[in-house]
Amino acid sequence: MENEKRFYGTGRRKRAVARVWLKPGTGKFSVNGKDQKEYFNRETLIMISLQALELLDLIGKIDIYSTVKGGGTSGQAEALRHGITRALMEYQPEYRAKLKKAGYITRDSREKERRKYGQKGARAKFQFSKR
């Protein structure tokens, strides 16, 4: 392994968890060993995951290596954005103000509520019948 310093951040969204390492470089971006464009096959997901870098004008200047697991692709993309944001704050603490204003620091904690026993769903109940 190189002696160059790497910066780490963990991002979470719904059931997805992203572990992100970044270092100054040429803009390589790998997710679970694949190229980012190969892993996220939708343009919107790629855009979501790169929002923090775009805000700070760092696209093409930082190499990112990440592992993502759990949830669906949408949650994974947002978890990746959160992880990149945290790693960027470790890399340059003065980025925090810009990232906070954009709302990328806050972890979106909305998760699907579990289904309760004896019920139709999380909140939906079976129809009550008097007779």
Q: Is residue 114 part of a domain?
A: no
The answer to the question of residue 122 being in a domain is no
Identity at 25, one-letter amino acid code? G
Using 50, 70 and 90 to split pLDDT, how confident is the model at 39? very high
Is residue 129 in a domain? no
Q: What is the average per-residue pLDDT within 97-118?
A: 93
Does the residue 58 lie in any domain? yes
Interatomic CA distance for residues 15 and 112, integer angstroms: 9
Q: What is the pLDDT of residues 62-99, one digit of tens each?
A: 999 999 999 999 999 999 999 999 999 999 999 999 99
Residues pairing with 29 in the sheet = 64
Residue 60 domain flag:
yes
Domains of the chain: total: 1
Classify burial at 33, counting beta carbons within 10 Å of its beta carbon; exposed 0-12, middle 13-18, buried 19 or more.
Answer: exposed
Q: What is the pTM assigned to this prediction? A: 0.89
What H or E segment, with its residue span, contains residue 88? helix 73-91
Cα–Cα distances in angstroms (integers) from residue 23 to residues 66, 89, 129, in the given order: 12, 12, 63
Residue 16 is part of which domain span? Answer: 7-102
Assigned domain for 126 exists: no
Q: What is the CATH number of the domain that holds 31?
A: 3.30.230.10
Q: Which residues lie closer than 8 Å to 64 by C-beta, 6 or more apart?
A: 20, 21, 22, 28, 29, 30, 36, 84
Tell me whether residue 74 is in a domain.
Answer: yes
Q: Is 64 in contact with 22 (CB distance < 8 Å)?
A: yes
